[in-house]
Amino acid sequence: MISTPLTELCGIRVPVVQGGMQWVGTPPLVSAVSNAGGLGFITALTQPNPEALRVAIRETRKATDKPFGVNITLLPSINPPDYEGYARAAVEEGVKIFETAGNSPGKLIKYFKSQGCIVIHKCTTIRHAKSAERLGVDILSIDGFECAGHPGEEDIGGIVLLARAAKELKVPYIASGGFADGRGLVSALALGAAGVNMGTRFMCTVESPIHQSIKEKIVASTEQDTVHIFRTLRNTARVFKNSVSTQVVALEQRPGGAQFSDLRDLVSGARGRVVYENGDPEHGIWTAGISIGLIEDIPTCQELVDRIEREAEDIIAGMGRLVKVSAKL
């Protein structure tokens, strides 16, 4: 058993987190991850309203007696969701672990801490991590440039971010972006992390709610099959490389660039959701990290977490043999 501040604080067996993913973090996947020994997160905004989130929490609790949490990601929006309503509903349903991400999380973090909850906050820079640390978060999730979704605008890979975190942060942190196996977990632990956060890898499991064809597309793809969109809008997102994302990049790169209004129909969240429902990888924008290049199968969550744990323990034992005791003269 690999014991870290993450496993001890959250009461889990394996230091692996299934982070929030829109349209993916639903009760079947979340409960499967938690039952396997990891930490699953329901994505609050996948649910249409706070009452629906209550139903999802109850459904998850029926399927597992292990710890799980709720993710709330704060995104720029003309008509923002009822973040406070989602937070209140989750707390009232007895959820004790939250993952926050996005802009200005201070109000939510303060509320969760006032209710005795554990807060994991996701950051893409050490600067932002220190700000979250001052807000009182319990664990930080350090998101490297390798990640799916929004990696920030500074393009710094996980190795340097995690090494800096080891030097500069006072609270435990986990590593996010590019992790899919036991070797990745060991590398994160060596860089001072208390565990790893995986998104794309958990998308490609039996219990993931996305279409089988998309899972098979992930298996068939390589680390070269993602692309960044919204670079020119300073809202970079790593997504799967298909005809739609390629068109978005082309529009951004034309003389004079592009406004969001030029891209809105192409990047519609509704189109992305249909990808997961009907299995057509070309229908819209969908997120994927470069860990896609490490994914070769579609296991159950139990098989995946067991394998990661076994690989990590074997690698750690092997690395111990690299240190030789030199004879004293």
Look at the alpha carbons of 157, 143, 11, 34 in this order and tell me if their dihedral is positive or negative: negative
Give the pLDDT score at 329: 62
Rg of the chain taking only CA atoms, in angstroms: 19
pLDDT digits (tens, 9 = 90+) for 140-157: 999 999 999 999 999 999
Token couple for 329: 């003269």
Which residues, at least 6 apart from 255, have a Cβ–Cβ distance to it below 8 Å? none
Extract long-range pairs of 57-61: CB within 8 Å, 24+ residues apart. Answer: 57/89, 57/90, 57/93, 57/94, 57/95, 58/93, 59/27, 60/27, 60/30, 60/31, 60/34, 61/94
pLDDT average, residue stretch 236-249: 98
pLDDT digits (tens, 9 = 90+) for 250-303: 999 999 999 999 999 999 999 999 999 999 999 999 999 999 999 999 999 999
- pLDDT value for 320: 87
Q: By percentage, how much of the chain surpasses pLDDT 90?
A: 94
Gap between the Cα atoms of 227 and 289, Å rounded = 9
32-72, pLDDT tens digit by residue?
999 999 999 999 999 999 999 999 999 999 999 999 999 99
Residues 6+ apart with CB under 8 A from 94: 57, 61
What is the rounded distance in angstroms from the CA atom of residue 288 to the CA atom of residue 276? 12
Query: What pLDDT, on a 0 to 100 scale, did the predictor assign at position 76?
Result: 75
Instruction: Quick: pLDDT tens for 166-200.
Output: 999 999 999 999 999 999 999 999 999 999 999 99
- pTM over 0.85? The answer is yes
Which stretch of DSSP H or E encloses residue 78?
none
Q: What are the structure tokens assigned to 266, written together? A: 């192409």
pLDDT at 103 > cutoff 90:
no
End-to-end Cα, the chain, rounded Å? 38
Average pLDDT, the chain: 96
